[in-house]
A and B are shown apart, each in its own frame.
Chain A
Amino acid sequence: MDLFACDSMLNSLRLVETKKANVNWYTYTHETRLVLLASGLQCKTFNGFQLSTAGVVRLPRFEMTMARSESNSKPILSAGDLHLVTVYGRIYCLQVDREAMLLHLYRFYRDAVVQQGSLPIYSSKLSVNVVDNLLLVHQIDAKVVIIYDLFVDSRAPVSAPLPLLWRGYQGSDTSSQAANKEIESSESSTSNENILMYEDGWTFLVPDLILDQTNKVLWKIHLDLEAISASSSDRTSLLEFLQRRKLEANKAKQLCLGIARDIILERRPATQVTQAIDVLVTAYSYSVKAGTYKEIKNEKATASTPTAGASPDNERHRPSGSNIDEDVEMNLSSGSKENMFCANEQQESQLSSPAISPDELYKFVFASVEEMMVEESEYLVAIITEFLRSISAEKLKVDLNIYVMTIRLLAYSKRFAELSLFTTNKIIEPSKEVAFQLLESGRQNQNIKVRKLGLDMLRQLSLHHDYISSLVQDGYYLEALRYAQKHKVTSVRSSLFLEAAFASNDLQHLAAILRVLSELIPGFKETSEYYTFYGLLNDTSSSVAV
């Protein structure tokens, strides 16, 4: 068999190159730009050509494995048993081995083809789709679909087999039945009951379309992340899975936040929660480096102009036809009221990555569980410590409110030794807010040591005014004045010092303060305050003398 590799140029076909090969049949998908030529008795020897802008790349010849049947007849591979898919930018070839009931995976590299494991199959009829870089293997006889994430080395399915369900054009209406897939009807007249899943007339088109010839409709496969997460029990790998989702980044993100909250509220062992947090933080760090993460704030700025982007949540009622482009047009013309209604959802679903920043983790996870967990503050502190370790390992920053919260929790459970270690080792990063929380926690617990930590922090941050005021409050008015004198701070009300000294009934101090203040503050001797206290000083001292 001869094969002509052709190129279309200027509406004309021109023979570019001719390659001679023995070919039984061929398969090609536009998505992969890959032609596979099968040859040999069992049709299991393959030559591959990839069409690229640089020309035709010839792949090395390779053989596929096929189990022998008992009857010793050699099974012959047909074109329908082969599926070419692109996942995470990698090209895979999937080969059905009916005898072994296995689906073999071959990954195409630039210069090699490597078999990468096999997946078990449970149906003689099988088809494959790809949605959001996930491999969906339809077990047509069993009418279920098994989802695999080829990103991980494990060849275990993401979740238990899930049914394929029809979901009407109400689209994102989550009140409809839980399902792993939504199939958007291309014709509004098609009623629910009419549709049988996995009809004989279905043709599966890569990547995510199904042509239903019986009903004359085109289906688009859509993942229901909620259903998938509901059917998966390993939270850590589920989070990893969700973090890799691009198509419904916002939904994945919300699910991740929900999972993170739940595992904390359920008081899962700290090691489990730690793993989960590590997953989220590393994913964020990675997406920042890759530049896919965008601040929510920027998203909000564009919220007023919802664009009819490829928002999978909002794929609406669409006319009959098989052209994706038409869908988009239809979306554009959909009512403005509807757009307003889902504006929020739309703008957030523009997120290109489900990554969660440490600030968001603080805000939507830690801050939101604090109130409910206050009795279990020790557990929460353990989790926060792991969170801080995780972000420190990734060299990220976090909202300083988490430090304020940590102090609150540690003080609540009276763990002052750790509070002091957290502060002196700067695990709790110094800031004015943190210092004030230390002062406040110290006051509430009548713990002078904690208060002093706050004072020391104010001094280290050179917040002279606050430092001096707090010192006076604690009764160290002389020390405070000395500090004010040294650092030339005049913003603290002079009456604070004077009243404190007067209250402590120490006339010597009062006199000394008056003297220092008159040196420190220009024109202090002319103020009424000076006269008041000077008068008081004279009165009392004379009465003492008497």
Chain B
Amino acid sequence: MASMSSGDESLRLCAFDLRRGQTEGQELDKILFFYPAELDLSTQLSVIGLSEGLITFTRLFSPEAACEVIEAERHSHVFYEAEPDIWMVMVVEKNKETGAIWRIDALRRVLKEVHSLFVMFHGSIRALIEKEPTGGLTRSLLYPFITDYLSNFFVGKKLQLPTFRETLRERGTVQMLTLARDIAVEVQSLVQVLDSCAGSLRCHSMILFQDLLVSTTLSADDTVDLFTFAVMRLTSKALSSDASSWSYLRKGPGSSEISSRSTLAPIGSIDSLHSRNGNDMHHVIRPLQNDKWTKGKDGFLITDIWGLETGGSPDSAIPTIWLQQTQERMYLLAYQHNSLTLLLLMPTNAIVNGDLSVSAVKQQVIEDASLRILKIEEKISRGWGGENTYHIKGYRYLVVDSDMELSRASPSGKVTTLAKESLLALNQLREEVDLEKSRAKRQEKDMEICIRAKNNVWVIARVTRGKELYMALEKGSDTLLDTTDAVGRFSNRYCSGAFLMD
């Protein structure tokens, strides 16, 4: 195990329950997840013990919001309270030489993302623990899940968390495709057809074009989760083996190796401590497993993650997810035509009751919608300008709408043309803005910052009523006036004047 070279120093990630293992000798009980799993238990406990101590300590002063981050000399500790008393902590090594410079909020968003995805597939951790108090079930689900998730961050054999180079990205937001009105109307008309594919029972749907959202009927939070999952595993890009270079979610070749370890590790280490009932030993579903989805002949995507269709009832092999907003369990059907991916969600209880069969819904989709899907895909593809569609000459930008949980940014291929210093300056500026925002808490803060960095780049942050704009302008000769003008023009032209510049 010691031979493990892949980031065993650079990253520790754990999840623990503060309500568990409060008595002497029972400390191991609080650990729900630890990465790397191979680490000896005493080290695991010391990381968690330190985190727990800090949380308890800081709660004395700030009971509402405990510790968020600790900056040690060599490490940053990022805290995220995923659910009441369920904490996720990430410890990352700082290393200027290797470019390991992070923005804390970007790291916290990684924790937030993996937790949201977990909840989407398995329900909340607290509910799982309550269902099965030994925690064995929770662990057996968390281990493969987070490990599968982390496999996205592997570049070669090295785990690479989002660094300052990804400062013009916002994890946990949705990227949308801008549609012309006539196509948008047709899309909405298709959405109505999809939603009524289960007869009187209303379904939910989401449509993506490549890695961009076209439409959704889900709440903003559910949209983000499902969108993230779709971009990771379902879209045409995710399915094609040559993984995209411009998507920030990279697929790593190391994934299979990780996965095989992940299922073994918990059973060998933690779970052996508990007596497990045989029920839990059944097939553990790993929704984030790589390369498990393929496109079937009828256009629907198929996977054996949820089991094989031959075993048990025909619908048991169909993926299910939980919706946050309604707390409903839904069947997930994915249909794909070229670059267009359609996700259809149907409440499971209606199907379990026998009111509806999934195959009937599939048939309905093919009958009612496939022709429209074909036409819409064709129309969108014709108008699609490629991955640089949202590139705006002279600007390197990120616009975030935190109300709608949307973002749009310069294509990553264009962002890489920025100098390292510019990216670092912008990263730092964003860090400052994050800090200001968290201080302001609920109140919506109005901010306008323009800084000229060392390499004469202008880095700009503009925050107004739930909308944020970050920008780097590498025109050293420009004055502050030129810069605000440039931002003002950008705002008027591309953000419908949302960012007023003085």
Residues of A within 8 A of B (CB): 269-271, 378, 381-382, 385-386, 388-389, 392-393, 415-418, 420-422, 425-427, 448-449, 452, 456, 459-460, 476, 478-479, 482-483, 486
Contact = CB atoms under 8 A, between A and B. Distances in A.
Contact of A486 (B196, B368, B500): B500
B217 A418 contact: yes
Interface stretch (B153-161, B178-186, B288-296): B178-186
Interface string B404-432: 10000000000000000000000000000
A449 B182 contact: no
A220 to B, nearest CB: 46
B195 A426 contact: no
B183 to A, nearest CB: 9
Contacts of B184: 421, 425-427
For the complex of A and B, list the 8 residue pairs with the smallest distance between their C-beta atoms, beginning with the closest: A425-B184, A382-B192, A389-B189, A389-B185, A449-B403, A392-B185, A460-B496, A385-B188
Interface stretch (B30-38, B218-226, B278-286): B218-226
B502 A486 contact: yes
Contacts of B339: none
Contacts of B181: 392, 425-427
Given A389-B186, A393-B182, A459-B498, 16 more contacts: A269-B196, A382-B192, A385-B192, A388-B185, A389-B185, A392-B181, A418-B188, A418-B191, A421-B216, A422-B188, A425-B188, A427-B185, A427-B188, A449-B403, A456-B496, A460-B497
A483 B502 CA distance: 9
A421 B500 contact: no
B147 interface: no
Contact of A421 (B188, B196, B446): B188
Contacts of B188: 385, 388-389, 418, 421-422, 425, 427
A321 B500 CA distance: 82
A483 B500 contact: yes
A418 B220 CA distance: 10
Given A271-B368, A417-B219, A486-B502, A478 B446 contact: yes
A464 to B, nearest CB: 11
B219 A382 contact: no
Interface in B155-185: 179, 181-182, 184-185
B379 interface: no
A513 to B, nearest CB: 14
Contacts of B185: 385, 388-389, 392, 427
Contacts of A385: 185, 188-189, 191-192
A486 B492 CA distance: 13
Contacts of B109: none
A270 B403 contact: no
A389 B193 CA distance: 13
Given A271-B368, A425-B179, A476 B465 contact: yes
Contacts of B403: 448-449, 452
Interface in B452-478: 464-466
28 contacts: A269-B196, A271-B368, A378-B202, A381-B192, A382-B192, A385-B185, A386-B189, A386-B192, A388-B188, A389-B185, A392-B185, A393-B182, A417-B218, A417-B219, A417-B220, A418-B216, A418-B217, A420-B404, A421-B215, A422-B188, A425-B179, A427-B184, A449-B403, A456-B498, A459-B496, A460-B496, A476-B465, A486-B500
Contacts of A483: 500
A417 B500 contact: no
A270 B223 contact: no
B219 A416 contact: yes
Interface centre among B191, B216, B218, B404 (most CB of A within 10 A): B404
B217 A392 contact: no
A269 B220 CA distance: 29
A482 to B, nearest CB: 6
Contacts of A378: 202
B135 to A, nearest CB: 36
Contacts of A456: 496, 498
Contacts of A448: 403
A387 to B, nearest CB: 10
Contacts of B189: 385-386, 389
Contacts of B500: 479, 482-483, 486
A388 B189 CA distance: 9
Contacts of B202: 378
Interface residues of B, number: 33
A388 B181 CA distance: 11
Contacts of A393: 182
Nearest to B222: A417
A386 B195 CA distance: 14
Contacts of A425: 179, 181, 184, 188
Contacts of B498: 456, 459
Given A378-B202, A392-B185, A460-B497, A417 B223 contact: yes
A456 B496 CA distance: 8
A488 to B, nearest CB: 13
Contacts of A416: 219
A378 B192 CA distance: 9
Contacts of B464: 479
Contacts of B191: 385, 418
Nearest to B187: A425
Nearest to A391: B185
A448 B467 CA distance: 13
A271 B465 CA distance: 41
B186 A417 contact: no
A386 B196 CA distance: 13
A125 to B, nearest CB: 47
A459 B184 CA distance: 22
Contacts of B219: 416-417
B206 to A, nearest CB: 9
Contacts of A421: 184, 188, 215-216
Interface string B474-502: 00000000000000000000001110101
B404 A449 contact: yes
Nearest to B182: A392
Contacts of A417: 216-220, 223
A465 to B, nearest CB: 16
A389 B181 CA distance: 10
Nearest to A452: B403
Nearest to A415: B217
Contact of A452 (B179, B186, B193, B465): B465
Contacts of B216: 417-418, 421
Nearest to B218: A417
Contacts of A486: 500, 502
B346 to A, nearest CB: 15
A351 to B, nearest CB: 29
Contacts of B465: 452, 476, 479
A378 B184 CA distance: 18
Contacts of B179: 425
Contacts of B192: 270, 381-382, 385-386
Contacts of B215: 418, 421
Nearest to A460: B496
A419 to B, nearest CB: 11
A522 B4 CA distance: 74
A506 to B, nearest CB: 12
Nearest to B444: A476
Contacts of A386: 189, 192
Interface centre among B191, B223, B465, B466 (most CB of A within 10 A): B465
B132 to A, nearest CB: 34
B496 A479 contact: no
Given A417-B217, A417-B219, A459 B182 contact: no
Interface string B259-283: 0000000000000000000000000
A448 B186 CA distance: 28
A393 to B, nearest CB: 7
Contacts of A389: 185-186, 188-189
A476 B404 CA distance: 19
Nearest to B177: A425
